[in-house]
Chains A and B, each alone.
Chain A
Amino acid sequence: MGISSNRDLLVSCLWAGATVVVVAVTDSLVLRTALAAPMVFLISGHAMLRALGVRTTSALEHLVYSVGASLATGIGGGFALNAAGLLTPFGWAVWFWAVTSAAALVAARRNAPDLPAWPAPAPVRLWQGATIVLAVLVATGAYALAVRDEAAYREFKYTEFWILPSADGESGRLTVGVRSAETQTQRFDLEIIVDGQPFAVFRALTIAPGETWTRQIPVPAVAARQRAEARLYRPVDNRLYRSVSTLVPPI
Chain B
Amino acid sequence: MMPARFIARTKINPLQTAIRWAWAVIGPDLSGGSADAPPQQANSRWIAVLCLTVATALLLVVAGHAAGRRGYEVAPLFFWSGVILLVVPITLRVAQPMLARGERLFLLFLLAEALFYCKVVYSPTGFIAFDEFLHGIAADDLITARRLFLSNPLLPIGPTYPGLEILAMAIVNLTGLPLFVAGMLLLAILKGTFIGALFLFFESITGSPRISAIACLTYMGCSTFVLFESMFSYESLGIVLCVLAFAVEAASKDLVRRPRLKALGLIALLLASLAVTHHLSAGFAAIYFGALAVLEALRRHGSLRTHARTVVGLTALLAIALPLLWVQVHGNTLTGYLGPSVETGFKTLIGKILGAPTPRSEHLGAPTQPVGMRLTTLLAILLLSLGLATGFFRSLAMAAPSGVQAGWRPMQDILRRNWRDSRIVLLTLLAFGFPVSVALRLTNAGWEIGNRMGTFVFIAVGLVVAVGIVHFWQGRTPRGWRRIAPAVALTVIVLGGVTTSSLNPIHGRYRVAADQESIEPMGIETARWTKEWLGAGNRFTADRINRLLLASYGRQDARIKIAEGIYSARIFEGEELGSDELYALARSDIDFLLVDLRLSTAPPVLGFYFEPWQPQAGTPISGAELLKFDDIQGVTRIYDNGWIVIYDIRGLHGNF
Contact = CB atoms under 8 A, between A and B. Distances in A.
Contact of A142 (B44, B121, B269): B121
Given A33-B177, A128-B45, A244-B640, A53 B262 contact: yes
A227 B244 contact: no
A169 to B, nearest CB: 8
B519 to A, nearest CB: 11
Interface in B47-94: 47-49, 51-52, 54-56, 58-59, 61-62, 65-66, 69-70
Contacts of B638: 162-164, 244-246
From B43, B237, B656, name the one whose CB has the most chain A CB atoms within 10 angstroms: B656
A69 B241 CA distance: 9
Nearest to B61: A142
B512 to A, nearest CB: 13
Contacts of B121: 142-143, 146
Contact of A92 (B62, B174, B258, B509): B174
B162 interface: yes
A27 B170 contact: no
Interface in A117-139: 119-120, 122-125, 127-129, 131-132, 134-139
Contacts of A160: 525-526, 529, 639-641
B55 A136 contact: yes
Interface stretch (B270-278, B391-399, B560-568): B270-278
Contacts of A55: 255, 259, 262
B363 interface: no
A53 B260 CA distance: 10
B383 interface: no
Given A138-B55, A145-B66, A243-B637, A122 B510 contact: no
Interface stretch (A4-12, A36-44, A186-194, A198-206): A36-44
B125 interface: yes
B344 interface: no
A137 to B, nearest CB: 8
Contacts, number: 283
A65 B55 contact: no
Interface in A138-188: 138-139, 141-143, 145-147, 149-151, 153-156, 158-164, 167, 175, 177, 179, 181
Contacts of B533: 162, 164, 175, 177
Nearest to A49: B266
A137 B58 CA distance: 12
Interface stretch (B30-38, B193-201, B460-468, B575-583): B193-201
A249 B650 CA distance: 11
Interface residue SS majority, chain B: helix
From A41, A78, A82, name the one whose CB has the most chain B CB atoms within 10 angstroms: A78
B596 to A, nearest CB: 11
Interface residues of B, number: 97
Contacts of A67: 189, 193, 196
B273 A72 contact: yes
A71 to B, nearest CB: 6
Contact of B520 (A40, A156, A159): A156
A74 B166 contact: yes
B137 interface: no
Size bracket, chain A contacts: 35 or more
Given A68-B244, A72-B269, A156-B520, A37 B185 contact: yes
A32 B177 CA distance: 9
A131 B270 contact: no
B148 interface: yes
Contacts of A100: none
A131 B51 contact: yes
Nearest to B175: A33
A77 interface: yes
A213 to B, nearest CB: 13
Interface residue SS majority, chain A: helix
Given A40-B170, A60-B200, A138-B59, A155 B642 contact: no
A166 to B, nearest CB: 11
Contact of A246 (B103, B185, B244, B648): B648
Contacts of A74: 166-167, 170
Contacts of A54: 248, 262-263, 265-266
Interface string A75-107: 111110010010111011100100000000000
A91 B170 CA distance: 10
B162 A161 contact: no
B636 A246 contact: yes
Contact of B170 (A61, A64, A78, A137): A78
Contact of A65 (B102, B237, B248): B248
B282 to A, nearest CB: 13
Contact of B171 (A37, A82, A243): A37
A149 B639 contact: no
Interface string B109-125: 00000000100110111
Nearest to B148: A82
Given A151-B125, A181-B525, A122 B167 contact: no
A135 B50 CA distance: 9
Given A32-B175, A139-B54, A246-B636, A161 B266 contact: no
A52 B651 contact: no
Contacts of A123: 41, 44
A52 B617 CA distance: 56
Interface in B177-219: 177, 185, 189, 193, 196-197, 199-200
Given A67-B193, A71-B241, A146-B124, A78 B166 contact: yes
Contacts of B200: 60-61, 64
B176 A27 contact: yes
A157 to B, nearest CB: 9
A224 B38 CA distance: 90
A220 interface: no
B248 A149 contact: no
B640 A247 contact: no
Contacts of B262: 52-55
Q: Closest 4 interchain pairs by CB?
A: A78-B166, A36-B174, A138-B55, A135-B51
Given A48-B269, A159-B642, 17 more contacts: A49-B266, A52-B265, A60-B196, A64-B247, A67-B193, A68-B244, A75-B276, A76-B273, A82-B147, A92-B173, A93-B174, A135-B54, A139-B55, A139-B59, A142-B121, A143-B121, A161-B639
5 contacts: A36-B175, A55-B262, A146-B65, A164-B638, A181-B525
